Amino acid sequence: MPHRVFRLIVVVWVGSLLTIGYAVAPVLFTSLDRMTAGSVAAQLFRIEAVIGVVCGVLLLALGNLLVRRGNDVYRRLRWVMTGMLACVLVGYFGLQPFMNALRVAALNAGTDVGHSAYASRFGLLHGVSSLFYLVESLFGLALVWMLPGSATLAAPLRSGAQRDAA
């Protein structure tokens, strides 16, 4: 059962990450004006960041539990999850406050951030944030790829049952 919960949490995290970043956000910017699309995308990325932190913490805790129960296959997955969680923390919670401050400063000056004196700084921060999002996405794909199959999970249980019978 813990293996299934682990997979479900991975699917929620990686699925939402890929859907929002690579499907929803581009559609917003092709369908809406830039300011509205940016505002909606910012809200969606905030939700995605919270999903990432919650899923990351749950997965690390569950991964530790599974490793303690003798499922060493989860030992290496913890490093991938830690990388993903670090990307969320730095990419969103580390950089977004600065980006929001530039956005607010531009609005207070009577323009959007793209046409303000802050455009180049915002663009740099946005690029770095996008890079963290890309790295998190690649870690997520690696995590899904590395998830153990049913045969891999059954092997430690069989060997443990055989040890108990002996």
Q: What is the pLDDT of residue 162?
A: 52
Tell me whether residue 91 is in a domain: yes
Q: What is the distance of C-alpha 51 from the center of its chain?
A: 8
Tell me whether residue 19 is in a domain: yes
User: Does residue 61 sit in helix, strand or coil?
Assistant: helix
Where in the sequence is the domain holding 17, given as residue range(s)?
2-147
Task: Sort 33 into a burial class: Cβ within 10 Å, 0-12 / 13-18 / 19+.
Answer: exposed
Instruction: Tell me how many domains the chain contains.
Output: 1
Tell me whether residue 61 is in a domain: yes
Give me the tens of pLDDT residue by residue for the chain, a chain 166 residues long: 888 999 999 999 999 999 999 999 999 999 999 889 988 999 999 999 999 999 999 999 999 999 999 888 899 999 999 999 999 999 999 999 999 999 899 989 988 888 899 999 999 999 999 999 999 999 999 999 999 876 555 555 545 555 454 4
Q: What is the pLDDT of residue 151?
A: 53
Tell me whether residue 74 is in a domain: yes
Give pLDDT tens digits for 136-152. Answer: 999 999 999 999 876 55
In whole angstroms, what is the distance from residue 10 CA to residue 59 CA? Answer: 8
Tell me whether residue 153 is in a domain: no
Tell me whether residue 120 is in a domain: yes
Task: Sort 92 into a burial class: Cβ within 10 Å, 0-12 / 13-18 / 19+.
Answer: buried
Tell me whether residue 164 is in a domain: no
Q: What is the pLDDT of residue 2?
A: 85
In whole angstroms, what is the distance from residue 137 CA to residue 14 CA? Answer: 7
User: Does residue 147 sit in helix, strand or coil?
Assistant: coil
Tell me whether residue 152 is in a domain: no
Q: What is the pLDDT of residue 18?
A: 97
